[in-house]
Structure 1
Amino acid sequence: MPQTAQTLDAAAVRSWCSLSLAALGREREAIDAINVYPVADGDTGTNLYLTVESAARALDAAFAGDAAPDLPEAVRAMAHGALIGARGNSGTILSQLLRGMAAVLAAGRDGDHLARALTRAADAAREAVAHPVEGTILSVAAAAAGACAQGGDLVTVARRAYEGARAALEATPGQLAVLERAGVVDAGGRGLVMVLGALVEAVSGEAQPPLAAAGRPAVGVEAGAGDSAVGESCAVEGGPAFEVIYLLEAEDAAVARLRARLDALGESLVVVGGDGLWNVHVHVDDAGAAVEAGVEAGRPYRIRITHFAAGGAARPELVQRAVVAVLPGEGLAELCREAGATTVLARSGEPPASCDLVEAIRRAHAREVVLLPNDADLRPTAAAAAAQVRGEGVRVALIPTRAAVQGIAALAVHEPDRRFDEDVVAMTAAAGATRYAELAVAERQSFTSAGVCQAGDVLGLIEGDVAVIGAEVGATAVNVLDRMLSAGGELVTLVVGEGAPESLASDLEAHVRRGYLAVDTVVYHAGAGAPPLSIGVE
């Protein structure tokens, strides 16, 4: 039976954040596709994912300290991370919802406090929006709060909030004409439902069933499309030209004046935060004036300006095509850089965030980019980064490589002079034809698909599943290699990490020569940060 929680604690908050990020990663493209209010720019799912990703990073940092955080510290970290990383209207509003919840949950952890927290969150979000509109994420938040207003135990309150939000989401087309014309529900509201579903799973242990199809893609929708709960119509045609977002350090009185000035300058105004730190979002024609207003109010930073019409046109100095690859070690990174790739290092336990991948894609200075995440768990993050950069006019193809050896295989057949689609197909085929394995050392006793392992055991993972449990690296590597080659193969790629025995690569090469005469072997040294051994078989 799934375990249920009677009270909320810091671990449950971390689980909630992690489950929310995973859910938004799965739904990101579907939510982007129904993004029709107030600007049809197809980025609501991406913005929500990036916002929660920032919250998750802040929580991870809190748990990485000398002492684990308590509940108030955890909810404040989650809310603060969302605030500083909020993207778009819906992401900004979600950050305010989390901030409103944090203010109440810091004082109590039972179901009644959760109900009050949801009410405070809905009120705080509505107060942050200059011109609230029904049929948006605000309506969904209010319905969630109303559904559990009578309180109850923690799991009951979470479930009532989720069911109330789902019902409100289905009603949004009847509240907002642009949604009804497009045949979709509100994109931001759908994202909030995913977050509340993750809350139910975190406290009850029960995953919620998938939502119904998001609706038909919102392509060519008429004016009024986009991702937030603000009142003015802001279509690409005829609406403000720029989206301006920045963090602001300022006093409350100065922010009140800023709201009035920005409201007169543009549309889609959302200002969230407090205690001297604010996130400002507005759509304007005069981006400079919006930033100057922030300078007069305090200290703006992390300023992001997006041109709705131009979308980041290609600059003359751009190359035609580049490959961006995530690698687990400086040795592999150097190898791939020599092959012409732009690289991002991913050390064990420290996967890159989407902002790291966005920076790498921009650093490649290319009109077309092939992105190789080389990690199955990194795919949602890579997809969010790709979606963000596509909005800047860069053509990005994400090849879902699950291991560095698949990325090496893809890079080996990369030909920048052929057509983009043909290059992507060839690289995808090469990656898909490469089976992969990895050695790891167990940190604790655990149940695996190959049996029970103890701390210090060497685990041989094939295609992500534990297939071998051994006592030492060399023998386990041979066992894994034999299992992989039993299905055939022409080329074995061995990627050796810094902590592997010195003779490991030569011993494995000799083993292949003795037992598999028609199989070639190539060895790469990954350096620090990589697993002891990764194996690819093509």
Structure 2
Amino acid sequence: MAPLVLDAATLRRVIVGFHGGLADHRQVIDNLNVYPVPDGDTGTNMTLTMKSVVESLDGVADDLEPLCAALAHGALMGARGNSGVILAQILRGVSGVFRDAAAAGSVPDAPVVAQALAAASDGAYSAVARPVEGTILTVIREASESAQAAAAAGGGLTEVFDAARDRGYDALERTPEMLAVLAEAGVVDAGGAGLLLLFDACLAEIDGRPMPEAPEPSAAPAPAAVASEAVPVEESSIADLRYEVMFLLDAPDPSVDGFKAAWQQIGDSIVVVGGDGIWNCHIHTDDIGAAIEAGIAVGRPHRIQITDLLDQAAEHSESFMAPDEPVAGAGAEPPAAVEITEDDRCSVVAVGAGAGVVDILMSMGAHRVVAGGQSMNPSTAELLAAVDSLPTGHVVVLPNNKNIIPVAEQVDGETERMVGVVPTRSVVEGISSLLAFSPGATAAQNSEAMAAAAGSVTHGEVTQAVRDASSSAGPITTGDWLGIGPDGIAAVESDVAAAATALLDTIIDDDHELLTVLTGTDADAATTGAIVGHVAEHHPDVEVEVTEGGQPLYPYYFGLE
């Protein structure tokens, strides 16, 4: 007979089972990204986020209140990538309702579980000002609606989780109908696909049914069934809104809706995450004063960070996260350290992979280098550990990968230090930003100056396709070499040199004077020489500097200034 309540021991087993399910399906989800590059990340990031949650439960008694507190904290600290951040919000909503039930002396039954899923949906949606349907948000919302209906009809835990699972899978299949970019690529949302394994894990514990088996990676479905993680926020043009304003806000929870409404009148790209009186706030706006005054009207804004976006390169136009796959041993690289003097007010934490990349970042002024990037997304906890290891009161973080930016933004709320995040999307942007670093300035001052420096660089990279696909640059066959620029895939060629030179011909303009080439582990001298020769012949006014980066998966990183 299925249990009537979800006690602490069962919840622990569900979390462990969910992590196991994600681990089993990780490779398949990672391989099924809309961009056919060898670093799919959705399954990896969700798996590593849940690994942190499982580890956070070690040593915690089978008591709902402390278990749920550890669950929420572990998700926040372990969140990796956009999918991990949203998953952390969902788990926070569930754990909050369960904790309240335990505090009232009860154990979650079917109605409480349905209420928890509703809170999870509300929490995920409330994290962004303009949610976009066709993402993980749609999946959790529709699943929670069916769970509530099942509970209202008198269903038990099995009926509630069955309803959530069935409606969730139905919503997942319909995500391309809701989001044009998914329909155009013939994909469904990968974040939603990963989330549904949570309901499978619940049913495995409640009534003993087996977890779904992951198909062999080689048996991945055709592009029409491919999964890709869509960003659940509405994108805006950075050219339209000049400033990025971020701060922590101490304010009572009921006042935050009014605060967000005020912000919606003055900007875009609004994200407000938190609860229990502390909120992490982000907006793009032309009116800095109004953005801060809206916070003052409801509470106390602090750790204010302002970045001038005018000179920054526009974000990639695609509506999904660039994929990442971990490389064996990538996490074993220890943080690097350089000397900090007594007069220094601010220091830098950067993310990078490859011995050469680490050496360059250190030589340019980074004080800690956390292993990660295109090969692995570090967790909030790993970035926090690097930040807290530094003696300065102000720290700047360089994510150097767009997947890592939302994770880095979680660090500020977990430390007493003033943390500024420069939204660098590539290693070459991070290197360029370090030219503007001043150890005597504040994190906010450095963030603004370093963001402007990063925005002066045009970046590109070359990698190899891991599956057949289509692109604006033409059809892609497994094994093709791809040249990827600021606006996505710009070149598809049969050999790496052709892809690199075609990409450079696309992104070099008359204003560029210097090309920096970072060679990866798969680069060879002959190919590098051919690339340098091509630039000398076709772009004679551009000076070329070649440096060994040692990065995995991408034989070439390019930076143009």
Q: Provide TM-score, normalisation by structure 1.
A: 0.50
- Say which one has the larger Rg: 1
Q: Provide TM-score, normalisation by structure 2.
A: 0.48
